[in-house]
Amino acid sequence: MTDVRLAGIGMTSARTRDRLVQRLREQGIINPSVLERIRNVPRHIFVDEALGSRAYEDTALPIGFGQTISQPYIVARMTEALLEAGEVSNVLEVGTGCGYQTAVLAPLVARVNTIERIAPLSTRARQRLKELGIRNVRFRHGDGSLGWKTHAPFDGILVAAAPLTVPEALIKQLRVGGRLLVPIGQEGKQELVRFTRRDQRVERESLGAVAFVPLLGGVA
Ligand code: SAH
């Protein structure tokens, strides 16, 4: 990929990205490292070229296979809420999609393990992150609701698709003190929930209403 394509011009330029960062600040995102990632990750390379001019709008956009790239505000909010756990080194991401959330998060932690159930999305995300020089990510094609036992326990787990109830396997794969960020509920009625695993119990906090695609079982 050429430097010009990565840096962006016109509607994908630095000024357009600054406007997005400003908007997220106004909506309450305060972590400077997260805002820096939103400014630096070229979101336009994660969507179809025809949608490139809309890449720095704060909206979800289609990425094929009936899926969407998450809204920048949500990516920033989830990343920020995850990092509040203190030392966050080993992370599991469920729902790689196009890899945008992965690219925002990866340089802020030691390792991201990411699972996607639609094979071509996983393959393309892997290629994009390689082009961006991001190397601390393990990709897997599979059902993320089962977690990824080999690399557990995780300091944090981010789920980018909504189950109806929290997948127990994910809670089990958190270390004590670790956090699971997951949208829960039916389409149109979801809330973003942060679970924190304690010694003998699991804490649950609601972080507000959100809209995600459903978490599905099996692979495609
Ligand atoms: N994180 C992406 C958003 C992806 S949308 C971004 O940054 O834009 C949610 C993704 O979750 C979709 O690609 C969908 O295929 C995937 N998904 C849904 N159920 C899943 C499951 N059980 N395991 C893994 N991925 C799943």
pLDDT tens-digit map of 125-181: 999 999 999 999 999 999 999 999 999 999 999 999 999 999 999 999 999 999 999
- Residue 91 has what pLDDT? 98
Instruction: Using the predicted structure, report yes or no on whether residue 206 has a pLDDT greater than 70.
Output: yes
Cα 3 to ligand 1 centroid, rounded to whole Å: 29
Average pLDDT of every residue of the chain: 94
Cα 116 to ligand 1 centroid, rounded to whole Å: 6
Every domain of the chain and the residues it spans: 64-210
Check 33, 53, 70, 206 and give the catalytic one.
70
Confidence of residue 124 (pLDDT cuts 50, 70, 90): very high
Give the atom of ligand 1 at the shortest distance from the alpha carbon of 218: 22
Largest CA distance in the chain: 53
- Residue 5 has what pLDDT? 75
97 lines ligand 1 (CB under 6 A): yes
Confidence of residue 196 (pLDDT cuts 50, 70, 90): very high
Instruction: Using the predicted structure, report yes or no on whether residue 2 has a pLDDT greater than 70.
Output: no
The pairing of strands 111-116 and 137-141 is parallel
- Residue 113 has what pLDDT? 98
Instruction: Using the predicted structure, report yes or no on whether residue 9 has a pLDDT greater than 80.
Output: no
In the residue annotation, 53 being an active-site residue is answered as: no
CA distance 15 to 187: 34
pLDDT tens-digit map of 152-168: 999 999 999 999 999 99
Radius of gyration of the chain (CA): 16
Cα 167 to ligand 1 centroid, rounded to whole Å: 15
- Residue 1 has what pLDDT? 59
- Residue 85 has what pLDDT? 67
Confidence of residue 8 (pLDDT cuts 50, 70, 90): confident
Among residues 84, 86, 136, the alpha carbon closest in space to that of 114 is found at 136
Q: Which H or E run includes 112?
A: strand 111-116
What does residue 147 show for φ and ψ, rounded to 5 degrees?
A: 75, -160
213 lines ligand 1 (CB under 6 A): yes
- Residue 7 has what pLDDT? 74
pLDDT tens-digit map of 90-112: 999 999 999 999 999 999 999 99
12: left (phi over 0), alpha (psi -120 to 50) or beta: alpha
Average pLDDT (111-125) is: 98
pLDDT tens-digit map of 19-54: 999 999 999 999 999 999 999 999 999 999 999 999
CATH number for the segment(s) 64-210: 3.40.50.150
Among residues 54, 50, 45, the alpha carbon closest in space to that of 129 is found at 45
The residues, any chain, with a CB within 8 Å of residue 202's CB and separated by 6 or more, are 171, 195, 196
211 lines ligand 1 (CB under 6 A): no
Give the atom of ligand 1 at the shortest distance from the alpha carbon of 217: 22
121 lines ligand 1 (CB under 6 A): yes
